[in-house]
Amino acid sequence: MRNKQSGFTLVELLVVIAIIGVLAGMGSQMMGFSIRKGGISAAESEIQRLTLGVESFQLDYGDYPPSSMEDEYEVTGNRLDSGNESMVAHLASRARGRSYFEFKEEYLDNLDSDILANDMVEQMSWVFGDNQLREYLDPWGNPYVYIHNRDYGREFSVSQEGVPVMVISGTSTKTATFHEPIRFQIWSAGPDGIHENGKGDDVSQW
């Protein structure tokens, strides 16, 4: 009679390794899920803050920031992320002695490296120390979309993971009209980084 071997057999070892693999997979999936969830609530709260900023700008100036600085002031620009840049520029204005938005530095960037003309910088009482035409980014690094209600139905060029794509204001399936009909639309492309005009996993203010 052979002595019964102590320790694990090969089969037992393989079973243990398989179980560890499954558990590790579940763990990383859960972690991915909670990171995604965290991103979504961060985007929601930033959109809420941006909405308040845009609303208080409107109280002072009687109108929301335009969807495009290029059109509003007849300045030349690259027409990429114009709505976001216009929103940032107007919220960064202290022309009336007050600021409309507290920018979180980690979300500010100028992905397309464009600049605001110097006379415009003065005119807006720009709060930044240079003339970079910045965008405000969502937690996944993509600029939010901002569109004034005047421009609903119009196509705009925005960057999606560094590539320009066209977007159009989101429509509601309930009312068959645009969301936020008398205000403005702000949305993030969401965790998948793909703009769906406020649908799919996009995070929007409606």
Find the shortest distance in angstroms from Cβ 12 to Ca ion.
46
Print the SS3 string covering 125-174.
CECCCCCECCEEECCCCCECEEEEHHHCCCEEEEEECCEEEEEECCECCC
| 46 is a site residue for Ca ion (CB under 5 A) | no
User: Taking contact as CB under 5 A, which single stretch among the options 8-16, 53-61, 157-165, 193-201 is the one that binds Ca ion?
Assistant: 193-201
| 117 is a site residue for Ca ion (CB under 5 A) | no
- Give the x-and-dash track for 74-113 against Ca ion (CB under 5 A): ----x-xx----------------------------x-x-
> Residue 186: which of 41, 45, 50 has the closest Cα?
50
Q: Which member of 91, 92, 202, 204 binds Ca ion (CB under 5 A)?
A: 202
Helix (H), strand (E) counts: the chain: 4, 7
Find the shortest distance in angstroms from Cβ 122 to Ca ion.
19
Q: How, if at all, do strands 155-160 and 145-148 pair?
A: unpaired
Q: Which member of 133, 137, 145, 203 binds Ca ion (CB under 5 A)?
A: 133
- Give the x-and-dash track for 143-172 against Ca ion (CB under 5 A): ------------------------------
Q: Tell me phi and psi for residue 203, to 5 degrees.
A: -105, 120
Find the shortest distance in angstroms from Cβ 144 to Ca ion.
12
Find the shortest distance in angstroms from Cβ 134 to Ca ion.
6
| 114 is a site residue for Ca ion (CB under 5 A) | yes
Closer CB to Ca ion, 42 or 194, in the complex: 194
Find the shortest distance in angstroms from Cβ 161 to Ca ion.
11
CA angle 28, 32, 37 (to 5 degrees): 145
Rounded-to-integer distance, Cα 43 and Cα 75, Å: 31
Instruction: Decide: 57 and 51 in contact? Cβ < 8 Å.
Output: no
R_g of the chain, CA atoms, integer Å: 24
List of residues contacting Ca ion (CB under 5 A)? 78, 80-81, 110, 112, 114, 133, 189-190, 192, 194, 196, 200-202
